[in-house]
Each structure stands twice: as C-alpha cells, then as structure tokens.
Structure 1
Amino acid sequence: MQISDRGLLEICEHEGIVPAPYYDSVGVLTYGIGHTKNAGGVDPADLPRGMPNDLDAAIDRAIEVFRADIARYEARVNAAIKVPLPQHQFDALGSFDLNTGGIYRAILTRQINAGDPKASEHFFGWLRPPEIRKRRTAEKRLFDTGDYDWNGDEIAVWRVDTRGRLHGVLKTITGTELLARMQRPALAPDTSGLGAETSEDLIAQIHALTSAHLARPTA
C-alpha cells in the first residue's frame, strides 16, 4: 500500500515545511517536512543553516527529500502490519511511523496484528514530548473513523535562523500545490532512502541555494 494523497497532506500539515535545518521541540536536528538523520539519505547536519535565497527551489528540495522518506515509511508499515488495512488506517500508521520511527516495536503494531479492536488506544503510548498529544489524537481518530481532520488546505512554511530556531510562519502553500510539486509516481516507490538523485546531489543543491543567499550584498 501507499499513503494516499489525503494522508500525505495530513502529515504535511502536522509537520509544516522548514527550508533549512532546525531543532525540534526535543532538540533533534530536523529538515524540510519532518526529515531526520534516522530516516536515511540526507543528514540535516550536512546542510547549511539559515534561510535560502531561492525559497521556492528550497521547498522543492525539501519535498524531494520528503518523497524519499514517504517511500521508506510506506515500506516499513507494509512490512510491520500483517493484516489487511483500509486506506485511512494505513495513512494513520504512516504518519505515526514518520513521527516516531516506532512501527516495528510499538504495542500498537502488535495489537493491530492480533486483531485487538481497541488497538488504537496504543497511539497514546507515544506521548513524548507532551505537545505531541494533539497529533496522536488526530492519528487515532483517523485510524478509528477515517476522519482526515488535518486536511492540508494550508501547509505552513516556517522561517528558521542559522542557529536552527524557528521564527514563525513565513507563508503557506496549498495541498494542491504541494501534491503537484511532489509529482509522486503511481508505481512502486523507491525505498532506498534516496530519490532519483543521490543525497550528495541534494546536499550540493541545498548548499548552493544558501550560498547564493549569503553572497547577496546587504542594503
């Protein structure tokens, strides 16, 4: 199975888009749409800090990394879950694993595979940091009811400084625009952790975008 377009937009609205590395609420260096070193491919520590000159190009690079991440997490959920799932439940688990990396070891997974009708209660076994409860609640609701309440109408693009600190929403993009920019293939995705380009290619492109920003003359 693949995460549906609606599922992708749920994830993107939860995560937002940050066009340069930043520290999340527990101090994990993160990039783009929830990408961390543990996802494979590009290591955020290798990327330049601070806002790029060409924001649109930087968003495209972040989306490209997200595409590779999604393929990996789809493969993980497909491997971990041994029972048939409706689309909305697969989407909820994709969001959960992208955020936690816990699909293989979660009691949630074990209970789903065991056919426990109350398995979704175990979404709440993953509540660190405390502010993640809102996301776990949304994932549980999606799993239980098919309610895509985070519908991706507006996805935030955040400002970030050279120290990896967020400074509010710079702009938003629509879910329709994000999906068009993803240009996701309909066939089986690449699960290597990389897209069509190597991680070295992407790192070089991202450095070029930020170098152009740093080279601009000041007023």
Structure 2
Amino acid sequence: MYVAEIDGALWTLDLIERCRAEPISPGDYRLRRIVIAVDPSGAANKEDARSDEIGIIVAGMMDDGTAVILEDGTVRDGPSGWGKVVAGLYHKWGADRVIAERNYGGAMVEFVILTADKSIPVSVITASRGKHIRAEPVSALYEQGKVRHAGRFPEMEDQFTNFSTSGYMGDRSPDRADAAVWALTELMLDPDQFDPNKWIKAFS
C-alpha cells in the first residue's frame, strides 16, 4: 500500500515506475557485481513486534553501468535468524560482499554474519549523516535513470516515498529503504569500494 506523495519527496511513485524492470534471476550474465546491504535492528525474535525489521536488500551492477535492486530479504528475527538469511542470500546470488551498518550494536553486526558463515566478506560502515541526507544522492541516481527495480518491492518503495528533503516522514524506521541506500551507495557512489582496508576479516 503506497502512501500519498509528500512535499519535497525524494522519490515519487512516477519516478519509481519509470525505473521498473523485469525480475532478474541469480546467475544472470549481465550482473557484474552483487552486494547485500543490512540495516540491523534490536529485534530479539520473530514475535518482537516492538522492534523494527532488519533491512536486507540485494542489489547488483549491470554490464551497462546501471544498478538494480534484485531482492528484498528483510525479516524480523533474532541475530541467529537474520544472519542465516543474509548468508543464504549471499550464496543464492553469488554476491561479492555484505555491507552492514555499524551504528546499531557495534561489532555485533559483523559477528552475527560471520558466525552464520565465516567465508563471507563483510564491510562495516558507520552512518555519520542523517538518513535523508544519505538518501538524496541516491534519489538523484533514480532521476538520472541509473537505477532499476527488478520487479515490485511494495514495502521498500513505500518507505522511499516517505523520504523528503526535510527528513523521513514514515511511522517507523525505513529499514528496507536504508539498506537499499547503503547498497546503491556502495555500487554507484563510493570511490573506495575496492579498498581492502574496508573489509572486516575475522575468524582467520
């Protein structure tokens, strides 16, 4: 269920529809890079309705230089549960790495992912700016036609339409949209994306 358009919206329904594409399957030869981004929460288990969901978004870089949202794996679960979801998506899509936000739980985030599968390369990032500030350059990529949605992602897209130049207007945290912003930033906007110093190495 999409919300009505808000003043100063960074994403509109029309903009999202213009970026719509057909679903893409794992192993598609056109995918040059694939990342999985995680926006963690403090959820204890699947019944913890008071906590936000753990945003888990799969995105890729196509051979034409555009980025594409491939899958929304967002869940509400405890660390063991969402860690397994991330590991499963990593192998399903043959991803290059997992991008995770550090701010919630510090070292807990990479520990959870590497406990699920110690072979996964994890880059941990710290959010130093507000969510809508991070989202603005990503919305510009949409305006330029540089991002596609491979299918429909109603919950994530609803969160996108709640972002404005004044802030996020939704009722709860934009977990899915925030994870998508991290993934697209890594693929399209981060000049240091191949810097090995960003990689977290554990259980070596």
- Shorter-chain TM-score bucket reads under 0.3
Higher strand share: 2
